[in-house]
């Protein structure tokens, strides 16, 4: 069996690659990378140049594809299209030629593609109309639609993870660093709800979904059973770190002003800061809540890691590897 991963150098991709190697040790595991040093069975390609994909032997006679490559930070609609939509289209076109017997194409989308919920009692379902609120979510929804265009040629499954955290994640690392300092900042999100998923739960559920016949041509939210507030998240992290805290709340209006400065910084340096207008738009809705019932029904998805356990495992990893 031959398995192809894109985005294997990212946070989720690294964990997925390890899980696949552990579960299918005798299989051929190959990876596509945009840049960086290459290790065994890794191939450097330009997703936006279809010919480089056609020339890449990693795309030949593949059985399973896990497509995770893309960006989560950006400023312009064009930037997200070129990083999230066009690579998906080119990869599918090449696979339809070079791997016509593909058993499954797993596309890692995002809850952002579906948009937020109306209130805390409304858990977004896959059958509902999507309403993304910023460029990242819009690009992921566009990419989902591209995947669906190949339904008659390549069997697919789309997954929409909630907020992903765990050992090696850089976004949640900032909260752990706050905990170390003893100062707790809320960036306009203290009472807002989110559906999370621990990274090990995510990668195992992606593998399970790829092996189930029930998941062909379907989309699934992957998240914890119960949503949490950012206050829950921060308090759990401070508790695990054993720190008292001085809490400061930054109002959304102030955050939006600062995010505009982030955009100016991006245009002048060509670097995208975490705090920019698109990220702030993503954080504005109060409820990012989804239902995992269809995943439970079709491939026995289980929420096995509690928030406290996930935070503890993440903290131990950061401490062990001198991130803090």
What's the CATH number for 2-165+197-223+290-304?
3.40.50.720
What percent of the chain has a predicted confidence (pLDDT) above 70? 91
Confidence at residue 289, expressed as pLDDT on a 0 to 100 scale: 97
Are 252 and 188 within 8 A, CB to CB?
A: yes
> Average pLDDT, stretch 256-265?
58
> Average pLDDT, stretch 146-150?
97
Tell me which residue of 221, 228, 230 sits closest to 112, measured CA to CA: 221
C-alpha 74 chain-centroid distance? 15
Between 274 and 243, where is the model more confident?
243
Q: Would you say residue 90 has pLDDT above 50?
A: yes
- Would you kindly state where each structural domain of the chain is located, as residue ranges? 2-165+197-223+290-304
C-alpha 54 chain-centroid distance? 26
157-198 confidence digits (pLDDT tens): 999 999 999 999 988 999 999 999 998 988 888 999 999 999
Q: Would you say residue 276 has pLDDT above 70?
A: no
Confidence at residue 198, expressed as pLDDT on a 0 to 100 scale: 98
Q: Would you say residue 262 has pLDDT above 60?
A: no
C-alpha to C-alpha distance for 50 and 52, rounded to whole angstroms: 5
C-alpha to C-alpha distances, 94 to 27, 91, 99, 157, 269, nearest whole angstrom: 22, 5, 8, 18, 34
* Dihedral of the alpha carbons of 291, 292, 297, 298, in degrees to the nearest 10: 120
Q: Would you say residue 265 has pLDDT above 60?
A: no
C-alpha to C-alpha distance for 252 and 282, rounded to whole angstroms: 12
Q: What is the mean pLDDT of the chain?
A: 91
C-alpha to C-alpha distance for 60 and 191, rounded to whole angstroms: 49
- How many secondary structure helices (H) and strands (E) does the chain include? 12, 14
């Amino acid at each position: 069996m031959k398995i192809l991963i894109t985005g294997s150098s990212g946070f989720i991709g690294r964990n997925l690659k390890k899980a696949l190697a552990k579960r299918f040790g005798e299989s051929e595991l190959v990876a596509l990378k945009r840049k960086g040093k290459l290790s065994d069975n890794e191939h450097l390609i330009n997703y936006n140049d279809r010919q480089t994909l056609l020339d890449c032997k990693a795309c030949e006679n593949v059985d399973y594809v896990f497509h995770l490559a893309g960006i989560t930070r950006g400023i312009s609609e064009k930037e997200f299209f070129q990083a999230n939509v066009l690579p998906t289209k080119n990869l599918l076109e090449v696979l339809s030629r070079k791997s016509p017997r593909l058993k499954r194409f797993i596309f890692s989308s995002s809850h952002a593609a579906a948009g937020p919920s109306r209130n805390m009692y409304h858990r977004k379902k896959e059958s509902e109309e999507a309403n993304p609120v910023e460029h990242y979510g819009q690009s992921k929804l566009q990419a989902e639609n591209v995947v669906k265009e190949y339904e008659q040629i390549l069997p697919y499954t789309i997954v929409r993870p909630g907020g992903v955290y765990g050992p090696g994640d850089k976004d949640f690392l900032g909260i752990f660093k706050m905990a170390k300092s003893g100062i707790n900042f809320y960036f306009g999100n203290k009472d807002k709800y989110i559906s999370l998923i621990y990274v090990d739960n995510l990668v195992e559920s992606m593998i399970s979904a790829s092996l189930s016949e029930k998941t062909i041509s379907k989309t699934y939210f992957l998240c914890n059973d119960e949503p949490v507030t950012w206050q829950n998240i921060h308090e759990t992290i401070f508790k695990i770190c054993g720190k008292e805290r001085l809490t400061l709340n930054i109002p959304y209006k102030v955050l939006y002003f600062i995010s505009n400065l982030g955009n100016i910084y991006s245009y002048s340096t060509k670097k995208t800061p975490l705090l920019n207008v698109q990220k702030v738009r993503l954080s504005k809705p109060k409820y990012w809540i989804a239902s995992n019932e269809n995943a439970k029904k079709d491939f026995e998805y289980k929420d096995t890691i509690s928030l406290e356990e996930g935070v503890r495992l993440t903290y131990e990893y950061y401490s062990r590897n001198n991130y803090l």
